[in-house]
């Protein structure tokens, strides 16, 4: 079996975009977390996947929710990424958002967003893979915020 430190170092060399996954609990309270393990899955039907750690603060909510939103962060949103990755009581304080058609928070000024109906959960090691069918989406112009070798980066193009 491969050493954990080596595995983490290897994965750090894969640049990934940064998303914030958002959902509402049964009381209507918005929740969100930074997620870099995100990918497209299928064009027909339009499916995406996101991987959530079993010990993430949002894991219990994602185990019972029927929908969620994926917010792809733009180059100027490092502070948003850090806020949703940190231990903050109200991650939405001072953050602009509106509700998607399924009721989940869609952050303002993101590069793209998707409102998804949860269609499958798959346990995988210390994570769960969430499969969402995209029901509503939007995009804007700009550059993505990236994560590479343990730090934030932007695309120069």
Q: What is the CATH number of the domain that holds 107?
A: 2.30.110.10
Whether pLDDT at 149 is above 90: no
What is the number of structural domains in the chain? 1
Q: What is the pLDDT of residue 156?
A: 73
Helices (H), 1-73: 4-11, 59-62
In the three-class reduction of DSSP (H, G, I as helix; E, B as strand; rest coil), residue 27 is classed as: coil
Q: What is the pLDDT of residue 7?
A: 83
Whether pLDDT at 13 is above 80: no
Question: How far apart are the two ends of the chain, measured CA to CA in Å?
Answer: 39
Q: What is the pLDDT of residue 43?
A: 97
Q: Answer for the pair 21, 69: CB distance below 8 angstroms, yes or no.
A: yes
Cα 105 to Cα 22: distance, rounded to the nearest angstrom: 6
28 is written with which tokens?
């209507």
For the CA atoms of 89, 111, 53, 47, the dihedral, rounded to the nearest 10 degrees, stands at 130
Residue 50: give the domain boundaries: 4-154
- Average pLDDT in the chain: 93
Total residues found in the chain within this entry: 157
pLDDT in tens, 92-127: 999 999 999 999 999 999 999 999 999 999 999 999
For the CA atoms of 91, 72, 145, 20, the dihedral, rounded to the nearest 10 degrees, stands at 30
**Across 37-64, average pLDDT:** 96
Cα 75 to Cα 140: distance, rounded to the nearest angstrom: 12
Whether pLDDT at 39 is above 80: yes
Whether pLDDT at 128 is above 70: yes
Q: What is the pLDDT of residue 157?
A: 64
Whether pLDDT at 30 is above 70: yes
Q: What percent of the chain has pLDDT over 70?
A: 99
26 is written with which tokens?
């049964």
| CA gyration radius, the chain | 15
pTM greater than 0.85 (yes/no): yes
Asked, as a colleague might, if the bond just before 45 is cis with ω within 30 of 0, I would say yes
């Amino acid at each position: 079996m491969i050493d954990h430190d080596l595995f983490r170092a290897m994965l750090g060399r894969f640049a990934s975009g940064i998303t914030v996954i958002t959902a509402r609990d049964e009381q209507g309270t918005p929740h969100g977390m930074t997620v870099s393990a995100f990918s497209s899955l299928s064009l027909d039907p339009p499916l995406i996947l996101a991987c959530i750690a079993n010990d993430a603060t949002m894991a219990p909510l994602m185990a019972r929710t029927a929908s969620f939103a994926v917010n792809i962060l733009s180059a100027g949103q490092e502070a948003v990424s850090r806020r949703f990755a940190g231990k903050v009581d109200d991650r939405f304080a001072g953050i602009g958002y509106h509700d998607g058609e399924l009721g989940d928070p869609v952050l303002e000024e993101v590069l793209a967003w998707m409102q998804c109906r949860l269609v499958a959960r798959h346990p995988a090691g210390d994570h769960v893979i969430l499969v969402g069918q995209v029901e509503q989406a939007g995009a804007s112009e700009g550059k993505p915020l990236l994560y590479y070798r343990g730090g934030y980066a932007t695309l120069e193009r």
